[in-house]
Amino acid sequence: MPLMRIPYTAPLPSPTIIPASASTLQGALGALVDFINPPVNTAPGNGNGKTVILSGAGISVASGLADYRGSNGTYTLNKTYKPVYYHEFCAGHEARKRYWARSYLGWTNLHKSRPNRAHEAVGALGELGKLSSVITQNVDSFHPKQHPRLKTLELHGYLRSTICISCRTEYDREQFQRDLSELNPAWSDFLAEMLESGALSTENPVERRMKGLKTNPDGDVDVPGVEYSTFRYPACPACLASPPAGSKVEQSADGAWLPSSTAGVLKPAVIMFGESIPGSVKLAVEEAIDEASRILVLGSSLATYSAWRLVKRAKERGMPIGIINLGGVRGEEQFFAGASLDGLGREALRCSVSLEEILPALVDHLRHDDARIVSDKAVFQPAPWR
Ligand SMILES: [Zn+2]
C-alpha cells in the first residue's frame, strides 16, 4: 500500500512531561543527557548505540520560516488555510498557476532564511558521535546545509528543486524563480514592491495589511490588479526537447507552458499533500530507524501519518522514545504508555521546551563531559608492572 502524505489537523491535548523532573529547562536538560548518553551498561542490546533524530517544522520556526503549508507547520495561525493537493496540482492548469504564484511570492523569504542554533547543535551532536542519522519532515534543506557530513533523509522532499512529473528530471529552484520573473513581469514588479515594504517577511496578516499586502481569509495573497489566472510557468526543458512517447509539450513564443500540452509539467520536489512517498525514501527512513538504538523527535506534532508511523515502528522495536515539542503530539499517550514519571530519561523522555535553548545546552554539557574524560585519562598513570 502506498504511503501518502496526509495532514492531521485535529486539536491535540497538552503533553504529560516525562520524567516529571523534565518540566523545567534544567530538568529537561538532565533527562536529555541521560536519554542520549545513557550509562554504557544500560544501553539497549539492539542498534548501533546512537540516536536517530526525527525533526519537524518546530525546529525551523526560529529561522523565521513558515513551512510551505504557510503557517509554521501548524494550522493554528490560519485555520482556514487549505494546501494545494497533489491530484489538484497534476490535474489542473489553474491550480498550478495559483500554486506557483504563491510560491513565487514566498520563495524570497525561504531563500534568505538560514539554519538556526538548533540545527547547528544537531550538527555538533553528529560530530560528537551521538547520532546515526537525521530524518526530517522539513522541506527547507536546513539540515543538509548545516551538517553535510551527518546523513539527512528528507521524508517529504525539498523545495530547493523542481521536478518534472513526466520525466523526473530535477531543476534548480533558484533558476526557476528567475524564469518565473521573466514570464510574469507584473508579478515581478509587485514582488519587488512587497520586498521593499517588508510585507513578505511576516506571517502576521495584520502586519502584512499594514505594509500593503492583503491576505484573504483562506490565506491567499491578494495581489491588486493581478489575477492568479494570468500567472505563467515554464515547461520542463527535457520534455520540450524530447517529449515522452505519445505526448506533446508546447510552449508560447516566450517560453510559457501551454495547456495544449499533455506532459512536461514541473512540480516542487516536495511530497505534496496527498502524494505518495517514493518507495526508496520509505525504505531508507525505515532502515534509519532500525539501525539506531533510540529515536528523538524534535519540533514535530507528528501530524502526518508518514512521520507518526516511524515513531510507532521505533516503539514496536522496543527503542526508547524522546519527544521535545512545544505543545501536544498526535497519539503520544501510546508511545509513553507505562513510562515511569520518576525515571531519569533514558527509557522515555517528553518535554516541552525551546529547541534553540536545550540543544546548544546539551552540546555544551557533552563537550564539557568529554573534556573531563580526556583530562581524567591524562592524569591516570598505569601501574609500573603493567
Ligand atoms: Zn520532463
How far is ligand 1, taken at its centre, from the CA of residue 149, in Å? Answer: 31
User: Would you state the pLDDT for residue 1?
Assistant: 59
By DSSP bridging, strand 170-172 and strand 214-215 are unpaired
How far is ligand 1, taken at its centre, from the CA of residue 171, in Å? Answer: 10
Residue 128 contacts residue 370 (beta carbons within 8 Å) = yes
How far is ligand 1, taken at its centre, from the CA of residue 88, in Å? Answer: 19
Residue 115 contacts residue 142 (beta carbons within 8 Å) = yes
Q: What number of other Cβ atoms are within 10 A of residue 20's Cβ?
A: 13
How far is ligand 1, taken at its centre, from the CA of residue 265, in Å? Answer: 7
Using DSSP's 3-state secondary structure scheme, residue 160 falls into: strand
Q: Which residues of the chain have pLDDT under 70?
A: 1-10, 40-45, 65-82, 201-226, 370-386
Q: Name the amino acid, one letter, at 39.
A: P
How far is ligand 1, taken at its centre, from the CA of residue 243, in Å? Answer: 8
How far is ligand 1, taken at its centre, from the CA of residue 218, in Å? Answer: 32
Residue 131 contacts residue 125 (beta carbons within 8 Å) = yes
156 is catalytic: yes
Using DSSP's 3-state secondary structure scheme, residue 312 falls into: helix
Buried b (16+ CB within 10 A) or exposed e, 366-386: beeeeeeeeeeeeeeeeeeee
As to burial, measured by CB atoms within 10 angstroms (0-12 exposed, 13-18 middle, 19+ buried), residue 168 is exposed
Radius of gyration in angstroms for the set of CA atoms belonging to the chain, rounded to a whole number = 24
How far is ligand 1, taken at its centre, from the CA of residue 275, in Å? Answer: 18
CA distances from 154 to 97, 136, 178, 241, 269 (A): 26, 5, 25, 30, 11
The CA-CA-CA angle for residues 246, 251, 256, to 5°, reads 135
How far is ligand 1, taken at its centre, from the CA of residue 97, in Å? Answer: 18
User: Would you state the pLDDT for residue 41?
Assistant: 59
Bridge partners for 297 per DSSP: 54, 323
User: Would you state the pLDDT for residue 213?
Assistant: 65
Domains of the chain: 1-65+115-156+278-386 (3.40.50.1220), 66-112+157-270 (no CATH)
Rounded CA gap, 355 and 325, in Å? 8
How far is ligand 1, taken at its centre, from the CA of residue 244, in Å? Answer: 8
Q: For residue 320, what is its C-alpha cell?
A: 526508547
Q: What number of other Cβ atoms are within 10 A of residue 351's Cβ?
A: 26
Rounded CA gap, 48 and 52, in Å? 10
Q: What number of other Cβ atoms are within 10 A of residue 214's Cβ?
A: 13
SS (H, E, C) 169-206: CEEEHHHHHHHHHHHCHHHHHHHHHHHHHCHHHCCCHH
User: Would you state the pLDDT for residue 321?
Assistant: 97
Closest CA to 52 of 35, 40, 34: 35
Q: Among residues 111, 119, 156, 368, which one is catalytic?
A: 156
Enter the DSSP assignment of 232.
Answer: -
